[in-house]
Every structure is written in C-alpha cells, then in structure tokens.
C-alpha cells in the first residue's frame, strides 16, 4: 500500500472546504493529490471538472465523495469499478436501494467503503454510549432546531427529491441515536411539514420505538432563528444524560463531563486509514433506514413556501 495514501476530494463545496481538506492536510496517513468539481478548485493539486476524466487520466487515489446524496450513486459505482477505496459523506445515498447497491459493488470489487456519519465521531458520543450501556433507558428526546438560511445558504439541492430537507441535519441526530442505543429501532409515527414549493420537509416530528420498547421523540425544525439547538436527552433510572451541540458536550444530571475537543473529521480520516489498512469496510445504514421509514409512514402537511 502506498503511504501516505493518495486521496482525491470530489465535490468542492462547503463540507469539503470546511472539514475534508483541513482533515486531510492534518493527517500524515493521507496526501491530497487531486480535486474534482465542476466549479470549485483546490490550490496546489491537479483539478478536474469531470469525474470520468479524473478516473481515466488522474492520479491513482482513494476518493472522498463530498457531493450531495442524490448524485452520489453514479460516482460511487464508477469509483468502485475503477478499484478506488471510497469514503462517502452522509447521508450515504438518496435511497436504501442505492446504498445497498454501493455496498454490494464494493464488496464484489474488494475495495474499502466507508459510509461516514460524522456526528458519531463527536467527542461526547463514545462516553455517552459507555454511560448508557447496561442501564435501563426510560425515554429519549431529540431536539434539532436550526436556521436553514444560516447553515445552507444557496443550497438548492436540499429542497429537491433526494435532498432530505430537514433530515439532512436530522439524520445526524439519528446517527448518534443508533450509535448510543444499538438494537432494533423503528418509526412509529411521523409528521413532515413540506413547503408548498419544495419536495422535502422543513420540519418533522417523529415518534420512534427503540430497544426494549424505549420511546424516542424527535423534533427537527429548520425555521428556528433563536438559540440553535442540537440536543439529545436520555432519561435513565432517575438520571438524565444530555448530549448538546450535536455531541460536542455532555452533561450527566446537569453536571458537565469533560469529553475533550471537537474531533469529528480527524476521527473520520483516522478510521478511513485503518479501514484501508485492514482492507475492511464500514457502512451502517441504520440512520438512513429510520429516515426512509419516516418518509414512508409520515403524514405530509403543506406549509408556507420557502424563500431563501
């Protein structure tokens, strides 16, 4: 295996610039050797505007796919067919069928597939999982409320079919939920508020049933201009565990627990290197399944059109 591992970033948008490029630069196991994007470019490496041209003429490299989920299948299958190890952003694909096709192709080709869930690498998640392990859980409440205009300016794809709407951030909560409470989980009821000019919801309320019948309530809202909130509260035998700021902070019975600094994308690239070294894959579809079930079982309500 070549070391450091050559890697190309595909889809030079917000998350590629904010997180992937710095995480790659800070990780001695990787070396950025190319970028592929129709509009965005990265200084200091060859840039390609066409993915096929990159695969045919560019350097041999692992691929980090940072494009939106609805356009991930085609590129993922081409990368796998070209024998490239592959990291994909969350949500891993637009549908369960698509991600299962990607997983099967990676297995057949013998390449590493890492379907990332960045929120699972937030520093409070592992300590929360350890604290909850073996305890009887009474209830879980998820509150994920943010201002879409602040966090997703100009991103039209989130409102298109396959764009997930408020489930784009909401699936991060579901990825933490399914990590800290492993076991079967299903959606009981869902209400999806869909702006009349959009294909995807701007708000959602879910009731889920977790392991041993634990009731889980989730409220996702993208119209929230006040305090931005990404919280998961768990009641367990008279104690309360609270994950805040998307898993960056942890309190037990109101007392803060020191969980260390932010570590999401550094953790993702450490794990990708380990998976490549082990010739292994990691692609958990549980959060996407909950999301898909919410769309299947959910009652859709038309709400005011969205203006960006």
> For binding to ligand NAP (CB under 6 A), which residues are involved?
11-16, 37-40, 66-69, 71, 89-90, 118, 155, 157, 168
The nearest distance, CB 9 to ligand NAP, in angstroms, is 10
Tell me, yes or no, if 90 is annotated catalytic: yes
Please say which residue, 142 or 241, places its beta carbon nearer to ligand NAP: 142
The nearest distance, CB 115 to ligand NAP, in angstroms, is 11
The nearest distance, CB 75 to ligand NAP, in angstroms, is 8
Considering the candidates 78, 90, 129, 145, report the single residue annotated as catalytic.
90
Q: Which residue is closest to ligand NAP by CB?
A: 13
Please say which residue, 85 or 168, places its beta carbon nearer to ligand NAP: 168
CA distance 44 to 63: 17
Burial of 220 from C-beta contacts in 10 A (0-12 / 13-18 / 19+): buried
The nearest distance, CB 199 to ligand NAP, in angstroms, is 14
DSSP-derived secondary structure letter, 136: P
Contacts within 8 Å (CB) and 24+ apart, 221-224? 221/144, 221/145, 221/146, 221/166, 222/146, 222/147, 222/148, 222/165, 222/166, 222/169, 223/147, 223/148, 224/145, 224/146, 224/147
Residue 185 CB coordination number (10 Å): 21
Residues noted as catalytic: 90
């Amino acid at each position: 295996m070549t070391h450091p591992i050559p890697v190309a970033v595909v889809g030079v948008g917000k998350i590629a610039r904010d997180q992937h490029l710095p995480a790659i630069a800070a990780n001695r196991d990787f070396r950025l050797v190319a970028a592929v994007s129709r509009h965005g470019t990265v200084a200091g490496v060859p840039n390609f505007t066409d993915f096929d041209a990159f695969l045919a003429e560019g350097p041999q490299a692992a691929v980090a796919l940072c494009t939106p989920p609805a356009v991930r299948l085609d590129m993922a299958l081409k990368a796998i067919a070209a024998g490239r190890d592959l990291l994909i952003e969350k949500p891993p694909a637009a549908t369960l069928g698509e991600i299962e096709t990607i997983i099967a192709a990676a297995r057949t080709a013998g390449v590493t597939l890492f379907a990332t869930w960045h929120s699972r690498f937030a520093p409070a998640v592992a300590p929360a999982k350890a604290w909850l392990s073996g305890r009887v859980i009474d209830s879980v409440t998820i509150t994920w409320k943010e201002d879409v205009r602040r966090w997703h300016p100009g991103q039209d794809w989130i409102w298109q079919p396959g764009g997930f709407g408020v489930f784009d951030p909401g699936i991060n909560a579901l990825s933490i939920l399914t990590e800290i409470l492993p076991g079967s989980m299903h959606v009981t009821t869902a209400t999806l508020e869909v702006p009349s000019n959009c294909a995807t919801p701007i708000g959602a309320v879910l009731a889920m049933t977790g392991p041993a019948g634990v009731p889980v309530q989730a409220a996702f809202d993208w119209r929230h201009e006040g305090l931005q909130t990404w919280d998961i509260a768990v009641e367990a035998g008279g104690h309360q565990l609270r994950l805040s700021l998307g898993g960056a902070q942890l309190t037990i019975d109101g007392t803060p627990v020191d969980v260390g600094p932010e570590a999401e994308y550094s953790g993702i690239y450490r794990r990708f290197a380990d998976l490549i070294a082990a010739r292994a894959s990691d692609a958990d579809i549980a959060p996407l399944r909950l999301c898909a079930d919410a769309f299947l079982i959910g009652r859709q309500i038309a709400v005011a059109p969205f203006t960006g």
